[in-house]
Amino acid sequence: MYDVVIIGGGPCGLSTGLALQEKGLSYVIIEKEAIVNSIVNCPLHMTFYSTSDRLEIGNIPFLSQDVRPTRTELLKYYRLVTERQELAIKCYQKVNAITKNTASFTVHAEDRNYNSIAYEAKNIVIATGIFDTPRQLGVTGENLLKVSHYYKEGHLYYGQHVTVVGGKNSAIEAAIDLYRNGAHVTLVHRGETVLEGIKPSLLLDMRNLLKKGNIDFYPNSSIAAIDETTIQIHSSEGTVTLPNDFVFSLIGYQPNISLLQSIGIQTDFSSLVPSFNPETYESNIKNVFLSGVVTGGITNRVYIEDGRFHGLKIAEEIAQRLSVVPSKY
């Protein structure tokens, strides 16, 4: 019997574990893949827009070579925090269900060998983020192997016809990197422009590439269908069919609604923001708390920068309820 089971081993899940540990509460973090897996899925050579001090957890300093850290530096930092603070985390265990008992919860997990593992706890913290559940285009051919919702690097796509769908930072970064690696890039966006609301570091490059016609841009457009060799686009000029080898659908992500709803957590229909108390981060289900990016639904208003502090309030609330005397680590 744990005081708390945390579902999700991202930065906000780790931060919650550190806060619980500081309060002397027993806990375990269950992560279905590697720690901070959302960062693992970022482009290999990505530099984050957030400064290193705003990505720190547990008051443990994070010093990067430049003001804004790279993916490699950030992964190393979170590994070091996990190791040095001896965080209790179980990786590569997927949570399939949560059941409510009389005075506790049972979290049903499964490891890579399909062995069932059950964890019992007085409280649950869901820190699953949103990046494991990409939003879907809802078109024929979306399930083809050439379609991906994550972008790693451009070298593999040299000389290939690649379509990028989306208009935010991740899509723009992918389109620029693909062009620089020799791909024939088409960018499809439902909005009128991609030059608003993106990182300043991307703006000049993207403006120049579009002006010179280095990237084919279809504004006010959407994907109609995808097959093995072509892609169809609903554009302002009608339906256009283009040769296509690969598609990156980078239109955003959303919380794992099925897990939340399975235990009765209410979510807003349009924003997918779950119901919770902003003072304690307790959901509408007693003793079930929400931490990190999952609290923002699809609004893109919650990031690591602010989500890393949720665990402090959660730990304080649970410690008071359990009347735990803090212990030093």
From 318, 301, 271, 290, select the one nearest 12 (Cα to Cα).
290
Whether the per-residue pLDDT at 328 is higher than 50: the answer is no
| Per-residue exposure over 293-309, b if at least 16 CB sit within 10 Å of its own CB, e if not | bbbbbbeeebbbeebbb
> Per-residue confidence at 300, pLDDT binned at 50, 70, 90?
confident
In whole angstroms, what is the distance from residue 250 CA to residue 241 CA?
Answer: 20
| 3-state class (DSSP) for residue 135 | coil
What's the rounded Cα separation, in Å, for the pair 145 and 157? Answer: 14
The whole-angstrom separation of Cα 318 and Cα 20 is: 9
* Local structure of residue 52 (DSSP, 8 states): G
Under the banding of pLDDT at 50, 70 and 90, the label for residue 327 is: very low
Q: What is the pLDDT of residue 273?
A: 95
Give the percent of the chain with pLDDT over 70: 98
Query: Measured over all CA atoms, what is the biggest interatomic distance in the chain, rounded to whole angstroms?
Result: 68
Kindly tell me the sign of the dihedral angle through the C-alpha atoms of 145, 300, 285, 12: positive
pTM of this structure: 0.90
With 50 as the cut, is the pLDDT of residue 320 above it?
yes
Q: 11-22 and 310-322 helices cross at what angle (nearest 10)? A: 40
What six digits make up the tokens of 37? 């897996």
State pLDDT tens for residues 255-271: 989 999 999 999 999 99
d(CA 51, CA 68): 4
Report the C-alpha gap between 92 and 193 in whole angstroms: 40
Average per-residue pLDDT for the chain:
94
Confidence of residue 324 (pLDDT cuts 50, 70, 90): low
Distance CA 172, CA 228 (A): 24
- Outline where DSSP puts E strands in 101-159: 105-111, 116-126, 147-148
